[in-house]
Amino acid sequence: MTDSFDPSPAAGDRFSFGLWTVGNPGADPFGPAVRPRISPTEIVAGLSKAGAWGVNLHDNDLIPFGASAAKRDQIVADFKQALSDHNMIVPMATTNLFSHPVFRDGAFTSSDAKVRAFAVRKAMRAIELGVELNAKTVVFWGGREGVETDAARDCRDAIQWFRECLDFLCAWTKDQGWDLKFALEAKPNEPRGDIYLATTGHMLAFIETLEHSEMCGVNPETAHENMPGLSMVHAVAQAMEANKLFHIDLNAQKIGRYDQDLRFGSEDLKGAFFLVRLLEGTCNRPAYTGPRHFDAHAYRTEDVAGVWDFATGCMRTYKILAARAKAFDKDSEVQQILADNHADPDGVGSMLTSYSASNRDQLEALQLDADAMAAKGHRYERLDQLAQEYLMGVRG
Q: At what angle do helices 380-391 and 269-280 cross, to 10 degrees?
A: 90
For 141, the 3-state DSSP assignment is strand
Cα–Cα distance for residue pair 72/75, rounded to 1 Å: 5
Q: Residue 94: which of ligand GCO, Mn ion, none does it interact with, CB under 5 to 8 A by kind?
A: ligand GCO
Residues numbered 169 to 188 that lie near ligand GCO (CB under 6 A) are 185, 187
Q: Residue 267: which of Mn ion, ligand GCO, none does it interact with, CB under 5 to 8 A by kind?
A: none
Residues numbered 329 to 358 that lie near ligand GCO (CB under 6 A) are none
Question: Measuring CA to CA, how many Å separate 66 from each of 70, 72, 189, 262, 310?
Answer: 12, 9, 28, 31, 32
Q: Which stretch binds Mn ion (CB under 5 A): 28-36, 166-174, 176-184, 247-255?
A: 247-255
Q: Residue 268: which of Mn ion, ligand GCO, none does it interact with, CB under 5 to 8 A by kind?
A: none
Catalytic: 61? yes
Q: How many residues lie near ligand GCO (CB under 6 A)?
A: 9
Site for ligand GCO contains 259 (CB under 6 A):
yes
CB of 72 to ligand GCO, least distance (A): 20
Cα–Cα distance for residue pair 154/156, rounded to 1 Å: 5
Site for ligand GCO contains 203 (CB under 6 A):
no
- Counting every residue written for the chain, the total comes to 396
Query: What letter would DSSP give residue 57?
Result: E
Give the residue closest to ligand GCO by C-beta: 141
Among 15, 17, 103, 141, binds ligand GCO (CB under 6 A): 141
Annotated catalytic residue, options 6, 59, 61, 202 = 61
Give the x-and-dash track for 283-312 against Mn ion (CB under 5 A): ------------x-----------------
Q: Residue 61: which of ligand GCO, Mn ion, none does it interact with, CB under 5 to 8 A by kind?
A: none
Strands 216-218 and 292-294, bridge-based pairing: unpaired
Give the x-and-dash track for 206-225 against Mn ion (CB under 5 A): ---------------x-x--
Site for ligand GCO contains 59 (CB under 6 A):
no
Query: What letter would DSSP give residue 96?
Result: -
Q: Residue 139: which of ligand GCO, Mn ion, none does it interact with, CB under 5 to 8 A by kind?
A: ligand GCO
Site for ligand GCO contains 61 (CB under 6 A):
no
Question: Measuring CA to CA, how many Å separate 28 from each of 25, 32, 34, 272, 337?
Answer: 9, 6, 10, 26, 47
Q: In terms of CB distance, is 144 or 324 closer to ligand GCO? A: 144
Nearest to 283 by CA among 320, 325, 232: 325
Give the x-and-dash track for 78-107 against Mn ion (CB under 5 A): ------------------------------
Cα–Cα distance for residue pair 186/203, rounded to 1 Å: 7
Contact indicator for 292, 248 with CB cutoff of 8 Å? yes
CB of 142 to Mn ion, least distance (A): 11
Residues numbered 90 to 109 that lie near ligand GCO (CB under 6 A) are 94
Residues numbered 53 to 72 that lie near Mn ion (CB under 5 A) are none
Cα–Cα distance for residue pair 82/43, rounded to 1 Å: 9
Q: Residue 196: left (phi > 0), alpha (psi -120 to 50), or beta?
A: beta
Cα–Cα distance for residue pair 10/218, rounded to 1 Å: 26
Site for ligand GCO contains 249 (CB under 6 A):
yes
Radius of gyration of the chain from its Cα atoms, rounded to whole angstroms: 23
Cα–Cα distance for residue pair 140/52, rounded to 1 Å: 23
Give the x-and-dash track for 271-300 against ligand GCO (CB under 6 A): ------------------------x-----
Residues numbered 330 to 369 that lie near Mn ion (CB under 5 A) are none
What are the residues whose beta carbons fall under 8 Å from the beta carbon of 235, sequence distance 6 or more?
199, 200, 201, 220, 225
Nearest to 266 by CA among 230, 309, 328: 309
Among 120, 139, 166, 322, binds ligand GCO (CB under 6 A): 139
Contact residues for ligand GCO, defined by CB under 6 A: 94, 139, 141, 185, 187, 221, 249, 259, 295
Positions touching Mn ion (CB under 5 A) are 221, 223, 249, 259, 261, 295
Active-site annotation, residues: 58, 61
